[in-house]
């Protein structure tokens, strides 16, 4: 083949490759750059507000069971709403139904674990006996829920060395807090009952004046005149 034939030969055209970054990819990139921080902010606020409502309800439940049961349910709903927003709406990957149910259940469990831990610590001085149980139980429950919720941690991590360490810390915390609670019970003035105790007497309050005794039946209520003293006999009478 001569050089002329080589020059006139048709060079094969390479098929056009796929366009790098299609219209959908560009739209997604633009939307990610323009995303407002309002939604992530609401998600994190929901986490903390829900856990705070649950913590207060768990500790104060014996004072008013009906009221604080409703508060705990409201806190759980707020926490679950934040979980759905952060885990399923704002994420780019949608998990399957089994994983979705596991995340929702573990998130609810995590909210109560955090609420038990924070509420028990915050109100330990007010409810020492209850805080002794809530704090170590909150540590164990929150750890188990976090392991189940985290996709990067296998479920068998609950029984790992870290899980045994968490269990040991919870046990030591229980026995330590029980000793502290026992010492607080023997100390006068330890803790308060959130408004259930009676107000202390004021030293400057004037003493109440006893009321006049009621008259006996059959007697007049009018004051009786003072009895006149007997006449003085000086020996001059009759003179």
pLDDT in tens, 141-195: 999 999 998 878 788 888 889 999 999 999 999 999 999 999 987 766 555 555 5
Output the pLDDT for position 200.
Answer: 47
Output the pLDDT for position 180.
Answer: 93
Output the pLDDT for position 149.
Answer: 87
CA 189 → CA 197, 198, 231, distances in Å?
A: 11, 13, 67
Q: What is the pLDDT of residues 61-112, one digit of tens each?
A: 988 999 999 999 999 999 999 998 988 888 887 778 888 888 889 989 999 9
| Residue scoring higher pLDDT (157 or 13) | 157
Burial 87-109 (b: 16+ CB within 10 A, else e): beeeeeeeeeeeeeebbbebbbb
Q: What is the pLDDT of residues 209-235, one digit of tens each?
A: 545 555 555 555 555 555 555 555 555
> Please, which pLDDT band fits residue 30 given cuts at 50, 70 and 90?
low
What is the spatial distance between Cα 159 and Cα 162, in angstroms, rounded to a whole number?
A: 8
Contact in structure between 123 and 61 (CB atoms under 8 Å): no
- Provide the angle, in degrees to the nearest 10, between the axes of the packed helices 65-84 and 38-60: 160
Reference 148, options 138, 158, 140; nearest CA is: 158
Output the pLDDT for position 70.
Answer: 95
Output the pLDDT for position 90.
Answer: 85
Q: What is the pLDDT of residues 33-65, one digit of tens each?
A: 556 788 889 988 999 999 999 999 998 998 899
Contact in structure between 119 and 146 (CB atoms under 8 Å): no
């Amino acid at each position: 083949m001569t050089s002329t034939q080589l020059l006139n030969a048709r060079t094969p055209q390479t098929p056009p490759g796929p366009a790098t970054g299609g219209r959908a990819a560009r739209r997604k990139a633009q939307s990610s750059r323009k995303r407002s921080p309002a939604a992530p902010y609401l998600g994190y606020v929901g986490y903390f507000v829900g856990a705070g409502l649950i913590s207060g309800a768990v500790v104060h439940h014996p004072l008013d069971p009906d009221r604080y049961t409703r508060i705990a349910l409201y806190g759980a709903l707020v926490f679950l709403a934040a979980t759905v927003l952060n885990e399923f709406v704002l994420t780019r990957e949608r998990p399957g139904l089994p994983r979705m149910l596991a995340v929702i259940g573990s998130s609810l469990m995590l909210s109560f674990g955090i609420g038990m831990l924070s509420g028990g610590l915050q109100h330990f001085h007010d409810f020492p006996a209850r805080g002794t149980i809530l704090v170590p139980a909150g540590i164990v429950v929150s750890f188990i829920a976090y392991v189940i919720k985290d996709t990067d941690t296998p479920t068998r991590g609950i029984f790992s060395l870290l899980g045994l360490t968490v269990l040991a810390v919870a046990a030591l915390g229980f026995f330590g807090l029980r000793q502290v609670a026992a010492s607080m019970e023997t100390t006068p003035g330890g803790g308060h009952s959130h408004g259930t105790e009676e107000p202390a007497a004021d030293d400057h309050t004037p003493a109440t004046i006893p009321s006049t005794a009621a008259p006996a039946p059959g007697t007049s209520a009018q004051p009786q005149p003072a009895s006149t003293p007997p006449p003085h006999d000086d020996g001059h009478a009759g003179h």
